[in-house]
Amino acid sequence: MAQFEKEIVQAVLIADNNVWNFKPLSDEGSTALLPLVNVRMLDYALIALNRSGVEEVFVYASLYLQDIRDHIKAGIATYASWSFKMTVHVIGGEGCRCFGDAMRDLDAKALIRGNFILLGADTVTNADLRPVLEQHKRQAKFDKGTAATLVFKECSNNLRTGNEVLIAVDRRNDRLHYHQRLRMHQKEPRYQIPLDVFLGNSCVALHHNLLDPQIAIGSPSMLSLFSDNFDFQTRDDFVRGLLINEELLDSRIYVALLPTAQYAHKVNNWPSYQLVSRDIINRWAYPLVPDMGVYKLQQQYVFHKDNIYKSHGAQVSKVALQQNVVIQAGSHVDSGSVISDSVIGANCRVGKNCRLTNVFLMADVTVKDNCRLEHCVVGAGATINENCDVSAGCVLGAKSVLPAKTTLTKTLVTSTPSTQRSEEEIAVELESIGPHAFIVSDLTTGDPEDSDGEDLLPQQPLSIPKMGDLLAPLDEISYCSDLSEDDEDGSRAVTPLPDDTNIFLGEVIDSLTRGFREKSNPDFLILEINSSRYAYNMSLKEVNFNVVKAVFGMQSILEPANNNVLVAISAAFKQLGPVVSNYIKSEDSMLDCLKALEDVYEENALVREKISQIVHYLYDKDFVSEDAIQAWFEQLDEEEHAHLRQSLAKLVAWLDQSSEEEEDDDDEED
Amino acid sequence: MREQPLKEVTQLIHAIKVGLVEGSYSITNKTLDIFKYIIMSKSWQNADALMQIVRAQCKILQAALPQETVTSNIARRILKLTREEFDLLHAKGQHFADDSQASLSLHKLVTQTSESNVSVDYSVPQQGLREALLDHLQEVETELETSSENICVQAEEHIHSSEIILTLGHSRSVESFLKRAIKKRQFLTIIVAECAPACRGHNLAASLAGEKNVEIVVIPDAAIFAMMSRVNKVIIGTHSVLANGGLRAACGAYTVALAAKHYSVPVIVLAPMYKLSPLHLCEQDAFNMVGCAEDVIPYDSIPAREAKVYSPMFDYVPPELVTLFISNTGGHAPSYVYRLLTELYHPEDLEI
């Protein structure tokens, strides 16, 4: 009976995610079956599981269930290296549209008996997951509420593929406290982390250079959590939901980092496709490299220097291949063509005098003479006629035919006009560039199918991330407050201040927010602020400045209801007016107050729009005097604050006028 | 038409790929088990059919694992065995028919086999071939099992007291050879080059450090040349021995052999017979295997983005740098390897 007592290691593979990112090829077949360096992506994930000693795998497919079933069958018949000591079941169907549905379905079917490995079908890794699984089991023994262990891999900070995360981890027990995805194209100038993370834990490590390869170890409770919370759509929803309702759900997430020698990456869009292809060719994912016979029993390639993998059955002169090229059997390259950093599938034909750089040709592609291809993907069976120039992230769908002398950049092309699956069943008219070539629009106003949308900037129309030069530096986001509005916890633009001042400001904001919410006695608030002031040794000037700044830094003003900042400000001042007027008494302090406003003006877009009304309001309520406003206006630098001056000019003119009138009145009275 | 691989063969390939079976000895052992299974199975009726099966399976193994030459070496041994046994039985049968003599003279045996070399019809069913083969296979198995021991026995002949020995990396035969020498001789100093990036030399040093009366020194690969002037003998293992007497050995072996040549230090290579392969070094690119780039340079480092990283597994050591091979049958000079090959394998089987 020994074999029954032994726990079988199970794994769940989720196929068919990132459908949107791989348009138009994802409209023609499962993304899990997309070849990556001439091996299907699903095979990489299966091999990774096999190498980790997994005995039973459930592949969860939704759209192209039959295709994946056929592929698994074919793999077993041809002795694919994952077919040993591992059984693969394909389950799913049209009904499950997201990750969450898959998990709920698994829970309903009760197929999972213990802790399991959860992987995306698009993950490429050579990691041995056994130690991570052991760690998870130990943790689960210690903490009954262990729901999952997320696996991360350290990565360089200079390259973004949309899979990078910022996490806060308790260093003593590897428990996850905070999780945030990083932007795709820019570097964040700052991160916003809730204070609770640091208050509740004495030993927190922040990692901002981690890559999320979509590997996790799940407890059986993870599935039931998905069933209980039917609003969990993705794994990120799950993580977020668990972190927010930690006590309520009594579940915790832990974190494991892969050792440096182990490679892991997720292929969820074209830039990461390009990056992972390059890493495989450069042997970072060893032994998952082309010349090790990863998928087939036989070795298919011979390794030559400069990372050239050439099949014996490929007809190509050595001169044509420059570096980092994989060329499969049956392909033929004519004289005069030069290929570098590319993958050529089986039975491709490349004509004379072509230049191919960073090109991914799938099987049976024909490229006619004198073409120039750069940073593009060409689907199976496509034809590119003479003298074409295709570059900058173009994707040509399967069987499309590009007419001669076409120049394309950043375009998606499909072969038939009707393959586009639109949700609302509206026939989309596609722009035609040939009888078998139609341009697919990749712009969309709504959310894409997976929730990656929040990674992108909301102002721009969303588009599919395209391939490009991997070494291009990232843009730094300039200090501009409107970019941070979409962050759900309301990141606040803070000019870098000395530490003490910053802490003081933070404390004042906290005091005021609480006071505002609880409608506490202004005297107590003043007492609190004063004690903070002595604790951080602030001068009176600084206190004046920071109190005003703090009022404007409150949550209710940063994110006012209906974006009506004036109502929010008047509400805040109605409640906190006595506190402010306690500090802003003299002419000098009024000037401090206005200077603080100037700071706020720089940071908050809503305030910027309404600055003159705000100043007017302050004047109306006697927080600042007319003289102070005028003195402040005089001080403003002509060039630096041109815009501010412009917005205030009217108000100041009006003030001048009214004061003159007053004087006139006085005169008349005399 | 391609033959379908046997289940055992595919399982062995997978085990070797994943790393469950490693080291030439265990690979050889497992391959031999498979061929034994084939011989025992009822799927063949005559010698020709058997040879076809063995060839087909060997080709599959070779296609999947081109670097593991021991698998095809064993297949060649099996083929040669089959031919010999068939000839013997054939000759016996003819004698019964010809002059009903039970014993056959050496002269007749020799002349007959050499005559029949031209055209022997192996497809004739031969009684008792299976049993004879299994008997003979037993001998091969014993030879394999005792090969390491037989090499060890020769340790005393080559290593003397208070000598300084240099070795590289971690070879199982070298380990037991040195252990034997340590037991028999006093005041040995063993210098182990660590063999980066895998640094398997550390394992060897740790294993040898358990012994008494010996000094172990672990050096980085860069210090090989500096240490060589004091060394009396270099003893290394090898992955395989090529037809010309050259070596396909762990990366770093060429460094060691060149340094030894410079200081005229004898280089002794421990190579059991199953490592002798009738191969020539012709295609330089396909000869080697390249490992993981991460061993050489960290993935996150900035130069790694543009650099081409090679981490080769093997070195080719030309025969003129090798002084002596020690196999389980004794010591041989590199120039004698071709002779050993003709003894081991049938000339028609060199190309499978």
**Structural domains in chain B plus CATH codes:** 7-150 (1.20.120.420), 154-349 (3.40.50.10470)
Spatial contact of A124 and A264, defined as CB atoms under 8 Å apart: yes
Nearest CA-CA partner of B352 in B17, B29, B53, B58: B58
User: Chain B partners of A292 at a C-beta cutoff of 8 Å?
Assistant: 17
Q: Among A572-576, B127-131, B255-259, which range has the highest average pLDDT?
A: B255-259
Q: Quote the pLDDT of residue A425.
A: 41
What average pLDDT does the segment A272-297 reach?
84
SS3 A252: strand
Interchain proximity B308–A307, CB inside 8 Å: yes
Question: Is the model's pLDDT at A160 over the cut of 70?
Answer: yes
Spatial contact of A384 and A30, defined as CB atoms under 8 Å apart: no
Stretch 267-286 of chain B: residues touching chain A, C-beta under 8 Å: 283, 285-286
User: Chain A partners of B298 at a C-beta cutoff of 8 Å?
Assistant: 260
Question: How many Å apart are CA A390 and CA A384, to the nearest integer?
Answer: 9
Question: Is the model's pLDDT at A451 over the cut of 60?
Answer: no
Interchain proximity A286–B63, CB inside 8 Å: no
Spatial contact of B314 and B251, defined as CB atoms under 8 Å apart: yes
Q: Which residues pair with B195 in a beta bridge?
A: none
Q: What is the DSSP letter of A622?
A: T
Spatial contact of B248 and B238, defined as CB atoms under 8 Å apart: yes
Spatial contact of A464 and A23, defined as CB atoms under 8 Å apart: yes
Interchain proximity A284–B285, CB inside 8 Å: no
Interchain proximity B305–A471, CB inside 8 Å: yes
Residue from A298, A300, A301, A325 whose CB has the most chain B CBs within 10 Å, to mutate:
A298
Q: Quote the pLDDT of residue B210.
A: 87
- A332-367 pLDDT, tens digit per residue, is 998 889 999 999 999 999 999 999 999 999 989 999
Going by C-beta distance under 8 Å and a sequence separation of 6 or more, which residues neighbour residue B246? B281, B316, B317, B318, B319, B322, B334
Q: β-pairing, A407-409 with A389-391?
A: parallel
What average pLDDT does the segment A524-548 reach?
80
Give the Å distances, CA to CA, from B322 to B234, B243, B341: 10, 14, 17
Q: Which residues pair with B312 in a beta bridge?
A: B290
- Write the single-letter amino acid at A339: I
Q: What is the DSSP letter of A103?
A: H
Interchain proximity A51–B10, CB inside 8 Å: no
Give the Å distances, CA to CA, from B312 to B195, B252, B275, B292, B293: 12, 10, 20, 9, 10
Residue from A286, A306, A310, A470 whose CB has the most chain B CBs within 10 Å, to mutate:
A286
User: Chain B partners of A81 at a C-beta cutoff of 8 Å?
Assistant: 14, 17-18
Contact status of B10 with chain A (Cβ, < 8 Å) = yes
Give the Å distances, CA to CA, from A76 to A67, A73, A297, B166, B303: 14, 5, 11, 48, 41
* Cα atoms in the Cβ-side hemisphere of radius 13 Å centred on B277: 25
Interchain proximity A303–B299, CB inside 8 Å: no
Residues listed for chain A: 670
Q: Which of A86-95, A108-117, A202-211, B178-187 has the lowest mean pLDDT?
A: A86-95
ipTM greater than 0.95: no
User: Chain A partners of B293 at a C-beta cutoff of 8 Å?
Assistant: 282-284, 286
Interchain proximity B299–A260, CB inside 8 Å: yes
Interchain proximity B285–A305, CB inside 8 Å: yes
Residue from B308, B311, B314 whose CB has the most chain A CBs within 10 Å, to mutate:
B308
* A8-266 CATH: 3.90.550.10
CA distance B163 to chain A (A): 39
CA distance B250 to chain A (A): 18
CA distance A424 to chain B (A): 44
What average pLDDT does the segment A426-450 reach?
61
- A617-656 pLDDT, tens digit per residue, is 888 877 788 888 888 877 777 777 777 777 777 788 887 7
Nearest CA-CA partner of A262 in A152, A393, A156: A152
SS3 B330: strand
Q: Quote the pLDDT of residue A78.
A: 84
Contact status of B64 with chain A (Cβ, < 8 Å) = yes
Give the Å distances, CA to CA, from A502 to A507, A533, A535, B339: 9, 12, 13, 85
- B159-170 pLDDT, tens digit per residue, is 999 999 999 999
CA distance A293 to chain B (A): 7
Question: How many Å apart are CA A17 and CA A118, to the nearest integer?
Answer: 14
Q: How far apart are the first and last CA of chain A?
A: 113
Interchain proximity B294–A302, CB inside 8 Å: no
User: Chain A partners of B310 at a C-beta cutoff of 8 Å?
Assistant: 305
User: Chain A partners of B63 at a C-beta cutoff of 8 Å?
Assistant: 297-299
Give the Å distances, CA to CA, from A47 to A30, A83, A234, B296: 18, 9, 24, 24
Report long-range pairs for B47-50 (Cβ below 8 Å, ≥24 apart). B47/B82, B47/B83, B47/B85, B47/B86, B47/B122, B47/B123, B47/B124, B47/B126, B47/B129, B48/B121, B48/B122, B48/B123, B49/B123, B50/B82
CA distance A142 to chain B (A): 32
Question: Is the model's pLDDT at B265 over the cut of 90?
Answer: yes
- Write the single-letter amino acid at A217: I
In this complex, the residue of A263, A323, A471 whose CB is nearest that of residue B299 is A263
Q: Which residues pair with A14 in a beta bridge?
A: A60, A120
Interchain proximity A306–B285, CB inside 8 Å: no
Per-residue tokens: A76: 């077993």
With tokens 């039917």, the residue in question is A230
Q: Quote the pLDDT of residue A660.
A: 67
CA distance A480 to chain B (A): 30
Nearest CA-CA partner of A269 in A584, A595, A542, A23: A23
Sheet holding A349-350, edge to edge: A332-333, A349-350, A366-367, A383-384, A401-402
Domain borders along chain A are 8-266, 311-420+428-440, 482-669
In this complex, the residue of A51, A283, A299 whose CB is nearest that of residue B66 is A299
Question: Is the model's pLDDT at A258 over the cut of 80?
Answer: yes
CA distance B200 to chain A (A): 16
In this complex, the residue of B11, B283, B309 whose CB is nearest that of residue A283 is B309
Spatial contact of A347 and A330, defined as CB atoms under 8 Å apart: yes
CB atoms within 10 A of CB B213: 11
Contact status of B298 with chain A (Cβ, < 8 Å) = yes
Residue A423 pLDDT grade (very low, low, confident, very high; cuts 50, 70, 90): very low
Q: Is the peptide bond before B266 cis (omega within 30 degrees of 0)?
A: no
Residue B229 pLDDT grade (very low, low, confident, very high; cuts 50, 70, 90): very high
Interchain proximity B64–A293, CB inside 8 Å: yes
* A482-669 CATH: 1.25.40.180
- B212-227 pLDDT, tens digit per residue, is 889 999 999 999 999 9
User: Chain A partners of B14 at a C-beta cutoff of 8 Å?
Assistant: 81, 84-85
Residue A461 pLDDT grade (very low, low, confident, very high; cuts 50, 70, 90): very low
* Closest chain A residue to B311, measured at CA: A283
Contact status of B303 with chain A (Cβ, < 8 Å) = no
Question: How many Å apart are CA A16 and CA A18, to the nearest integer?
Answer: 7
SS3 A553: coil
Question: Is the model's pLDDT at B28 over the cut of 90?
Answer: yes
Q: Is the peptide bond before B298 cis (omega within 30 degrees of 0)?
A: no
- DSSP-assigned states of every residue in B150-183: HHHHTHHHH--TT-EEEEES--HHHHHHHHHHHH
**To 10 degrees, the CA torsion angle through A418, A421, A423, A429?**
-30
Q: Quote the pLDDT of residue A484.
A: 36
With tokens 């570097």, the residue in question is A187
CA distance A286 to chain B (A): 5
* Closest chain B residue to A470, measured at CA: B305
Report the mean per-residue pLDDT for chain B.
Answer: 87
Q: Quote the pLDDT of residue A508.
A: 82
Stretch 323-352 of chain B: residues touching chain A, C-beta under 8 Å: none
Question: Is the model's pLDDT at A445 over the cut of 80?
Answer: no
Q: Is the peptide bond before A24 cis (omega within 30 degrees of 0)?
A: yes
Residue A443 pLDDT grade (very low, low, confident, very high; cuts 50, 70, 90): low
Spatial contact of A171 and A197, defined as CB atoms under 8 Å apart: no
A176 or A19, which is more confident: A176
Question: Is the model's pLDDT at A404 over the cut of 50?
Answer: yes
Question: Is the model's pLDDT at B270 over the cut of 90?
Answer: yes
Spatial contact of B137 and B143, defined as CB atoms under 8 Å apart: no
Which CATH number applies to A311-420+428-440: 3.40.50.150, 3.40.50.2000, 3.90.25.10, 2.160.10.10?
A: 2.160.10.10
CA distance A567 to chain B (A): 50
In this complex, the residue of B60, B63, B293 whose CB is nearest that of residue A284 is B293
Nearest CA-CA partner of A150 in A100, A210, A218: A218
